[in-house]
Amino acid sequence: MAITPQTMVLLSLLLSLSSLPIALALAEAGAESEDTAALLAFKAAAVGSSSGTSGAVLASWNGSGAGPCTWDGVKCSRIGRVVALRLRSLGLSGTLSPAVGNLSSLRELDLSSNWLRGEIPASLGRLRRLRTLDLSVNTLSGAVPGNLTACTSLRYLNLGSNRLSGHVPAGLGGALARLEVLWLTNNSVTGALPASLANLTSLRQLGLGLNALDGPIPPELGRNMARLEYVDLCHNHLRGEIPAPLYNVSSLASLDVGQNALHGGIPAGIHVQLPRLRYLALFENHFSGAIPPTISNLTQLVELELSENRFSGLVPRDLGRLQDLWKLLLDDNMLEAGDKMEGWEFMESLANCSKLNLFGLGGNDFTGDLPASVAKLSTTLEWLYLENLAISGSIPSEIGNLVGLKVLVLTDTDISGAIPDSIGRMENLVELHLDNNSLSGPVPSSVGNLTKLMKLSASGNSLGGSIPRNLGKLTDLTSLDLSSNHLNGSIPEETFQLQSLSLLLDLSHNSLSGPLPPNVGRLANLNTLRLSGNQLSGQLPAGIRDCVVLEELLLDSNSFQGSIPEALGDIKGLRVLNLTMNGFSGAIPDALGSIRSMQQLYVARNSLSGPIPADLQNLTSLSDLDLSFNDLQGEVPDRGFFRNLPRSSVAGNENLCGGMPRLRLHPCPTSASGKNSRSKRWPPLKHVEMALATVGAVVFLASLLAAATQLVVCRSRKQRRQQTKRQPLGAPAATGERYERVSYKELSEGTKGFSDANLLGRGSYGTVYRCVLSRLTDDGGRTVAASAAAVAVKVFDLERSGSTRSFVAECEALRSARHRCLVRTITCCSSVDRQGQEFKALVFELMPNGNLSRWLHPSPNEADPESTLSLIQRLDIAVDVVDALDYLHNHCRPPIVHCDLKPSNVLLAQDMSARVGDFGLSRILSDSDSACRAKAADPNSSSVIGIRGSVGYVPPEYGEGSGVSTLGDVYSLGILLLEMFTGRSPTDDAFGDSLDLRGFSEAGFPGRILEIADPNLWAHLPDTVTRNRVRECLLAVIRLALSCSKRQPKDRTPVRDAATEMRAIRDEAYLMMLAGSVVVRMEGEVVGGAVAPSLTSQS
């Protein structure tokens, strides 16, 4: 039968249709193969060098079996294409492979809370179907890829808490019309906010805080953004006004623009425009005008932060309508209230805010009486600040109703009357400050009930009566200041039994009488003792020598008598000593010349006699000296400070002579011959002859004594050499002796000629090598370590200025200090090298895990789980460091100041326990300041010439010329703790003149504590630990760190208290890890009043 053309066409069509399924199947198989290849490439790059959890989780990714749809973390569509990759918190530590861009059907990519490093590949721009991209909490760097604008289906974009830089891509707003969440907070993004952000009409959350953005907020932002709920632009450099459209987004729940340079006012219609607002933060800007009364209609408001602006007028009277209010900060503005309760109505209204926790009102233009309604505030209130106000009246007797208060600051006002006895009911008080008011009457004995009190100050008032004895019950008290009042009677002995007093005891300028009790030496931890301007009498007890950490002793304008005790010379850290206007007699003790830290010495207007001790001219730190109006005799020294001594410093001492010409004193007699050699001011000649005879006898006896002494010294040296041979390993002899336990030859051989292959690190004064010693022997040839031992050897660069001094400082410090948290010194070597040059080295135990800095800031090639620290590890290390400082400051005699505490000087043992090392700048408080001079300039050091320590860690008072103190170490400790738990170095490029690590941390405390925390913390935490528990732990650590790093030394937490608190925080964290049972939630959680971004599946 013939086949017609029509039949042929029909047959061809049927054949094509029958082969279509085969072609589709082949295409699907090809696509699945492409997905498999992309995932395997992703695994190879992302797993990196780690072999921990990531290796176990991705073990199913083996390229065999049923295909990628069965692999962990992979979700496929019905046709077998990969549509979701969810690998959150798996410890991925490598890079993000560009092959991810080949997953053409991908809708969700969640790689958050890992350690991914490197740049975000541009190939992600090929993922046209991508809806969710979460790369937050990693260590990614580089710019935000501009071609993400090609991902037009994107709804959730979170790149927060990385190390991204550059600008916000301008095209984001023009292309990503469906975007709901844009989160770039806590990076280093710069430049202006692109105006195109206003085109993101579907946006719900915009997070750009904690960056370095500048310029104005785009005036269009908020227009047509009807779904916007959360805006975070805090901690940038933004200028101008908040655009009007942003105030018209009725869905807005949180608006944070704090710490910028914005100005303008709060619109009167804010309650209508933003009816759902819960968090409003405008602090530290230049906002002005009145706070509109309508703000009281924002009934969902939880936090209102308006401090440090220029707001004026009255505080809205109906703030009490904000019944969910938790934080209200209005301090440091120009707000007003006056007499007859005008403008104070808001205080009565705030009694309705039953959840109020923190209330700041200080630094405004308030006048009139303090309303009694302040005592009606919620019992949940913990912080109340009412400082620097022109208010009057009295403290309400009902103030004791505020039983929840922890901190009460009522200072610099015109408040008068008595301190109410009811204050003793506030048993949770930790700090009570009542300074510079007009308070009168006695200090109520009920204050003794405040057993949690750490700081009590009521200076600058008119308080009278005696000091209550039951202040001795305040066993946690670190600072007591009752100065400039009218207190009388004797100082209770119980006051001197408060061994917790460490910062300050100031009872100056009162009418106190009687002697100082002998037990004054029990204040062994006290830094500052001020008793000036009283009527104290009697002799100064020798027990004062036990106040070994005392830096300031002011006893002027009293009626003390007797001699100045030699025991004062035992207080080697003393910086200021004022004994002016007393009745002291006798000679100025020579021992005062041994206090090398002395900066100010005042002994004027006493009855002192004898010569000026020559040793005073050796006090290189001395800046002020007043010896005037005494009965001193003899020659005035002419070296050291005395070269520029003003005439007023020695005025009123008729029998002084010599000195520098500017003093205009008569010359000292040089001869006893001639009629002009005599003077009525000088002893008669017969007295001189008697003295010469006596001197001759003394010289003869001294000659005999010198010969005998020389014999004893020779024998002593021989015995000392023998004792040195018998000295156990790990106890170096005194500096200046020859160390022979390890020779230069052994150290050279053990380091293979000090080769770079054994180099461990370089410092300002030397280089550290790994050294293998075949065996260690003592000088008698006896074996101390028979097998090969790996040690660390620090070789000092003796050509560098200060290196010899550094060697001496380390020897002296390590000789007198032995503690589990200090690097153990094995031995020393002081010899000559092969070229005959002087050679000095210290041999330490080898710390296999390097220094803390390496773990806090791993290089991009090392950013894996094994190279970062968990929360518990950081807490353990912090406890070790604080324990080491506590030992150096409080258990070494004399105390040792480290002077250079920083992560690179904290070494980690095999078990990750910490050891504090590098005592090259340390100062033993009995030594001169020269042991703690600054390091010389060095390319590997960030030290500053003239300042003791390293940039970023040096306490501010060192830069102002103050002497070394234990509180300087406490400041460095605070910065170290901040670095450990934020992951940011104080020398980070993001910090400059206007911002430092402390300011960055303080800005995030407490509301943004999770944002400023080191992102690496999260990947180590088990799922059983809740965010709230971690937040509480971080709050406690950062609170302690901020307290340790306060600008004023007297305000810093003493290291003894810091050690106790740090151990308590660590122990609580252990319990948290054991007891945690709730899975971490990230969805919609409110952190410090700010809604955190929620991660929801967009597949």
Q: Which residues are catalytic?
A: 900
The whole-angstrom distance between residue 552's C-alpha and the CA centroid of its chain comes to 24
Tokens at residue 824, please? Answer: 């153990």
For residue 824, which phi and psi values (nearest 5 degrees)? -85, 130
- b/e per residue, 872-886, with b = 16+ CB within 10 A? bbbbbbbbbbbbbbb
Measured between alpha carbons, how far is residue 445 from residues 425, 436, 452, 453, 509 in Å?
A: 12, 21, 15, 14, 21
- Report the candidate in 1073, 1076, 1069, 1072 with the shortest Cα–Cα distance to residue 876: 1069
Q: Which residues does residue 528 pair with via DSSP β-bridges, in sequence order?
A: 552
Angle between helices 1055-1075 and 1027-1044 (to 10 degrees): 170
813 and 734 Cβ atoms separated by less than 8 Å:
no
The whole-angstrom distance between residue 59's C-alpha and the CA centroid of its chain comes to 42
Sign of the alpha-carbon dihedral angle for 533, 539, 545, 546: negative
868 and 1016 Cβ atoms separated by less than 8 Å:
yes
207 and 254 Cβ atoms separated by less than 8 Å:
no
1002 and 1042 Cβ atoms separated by less than 8 Å:
yes
- Report the candidate in 535, 574, 577, 538 with the shortest Cα–Cα distance to residue 557: 535
114 and 1019 Cβ atoms separated by less than 8 Å:
yes
Q: Is the peptide bond before 1006 cis (omega within 30 degrees of 0)?
A: yes
Q: Which residues does residue 822 pair with via DSSP β-bridges, in sequence order?
A: 916
Cα–Cα dist 855/865, whole Å: 10
Measured between alpha carbons, how far is residue 537 from residues 247, 517, 533 in Å?
A: 68, 11, 12
Rounded to the nearest 10°, the torsion over CA 1039, 1041, 1045, 1049 is 80
Cα–Cα dist 1016/980, whole Å: 11
Give the pairing of strands 261-264 and 286-290: parallel
Helix (H, G, I), strand (E, B) or coil at 694: helix
3-class SS shares of the chain: helix, strand, coil, % to 5? 30, 20, 45
State which H helix or E strand residue 505 sits in. strand 504-506
Taking CA 76 as the corner, what is the angle to CA 75 and CA 82, rounded to the nearest 5 degrees?
95
Cα–Cα dist 564/85, whole Å: 79
Tokens at residue 381, please? Answer: 């209130």
Helix (H, G, I), strand (E, B) or coil at 986: coil
- Report the candidate in 107, 74, 82, 85 with the shortest Cα–Cα distance to residue 32: 82
Helix (H, G, I), strand (E, B) or coil at 633: strand
Tokens at residue 1086, please? Answer: 């409110």
Measured between alpha carbons, how far is residue 243 from residues 240, 288, 909 in Å?
A: 9, 15, 55
Alpha helices in 391-492 (DSSP H): none
Amino acid at 329: L
- Report the candidate in 136, 251, 236 with the shortest Cα–Cα distance to residue 205: 251
The whole-angstrom distance between residue 131's C-alpha and the CA centroid of its chain comes to 41
Residue 852: CB atoms within 10 A of its CB come to: 24
Residue 777: CB atoms within 10 A of its CB come to: 16
Cα–Cα dist 154/176, whole Å: 6
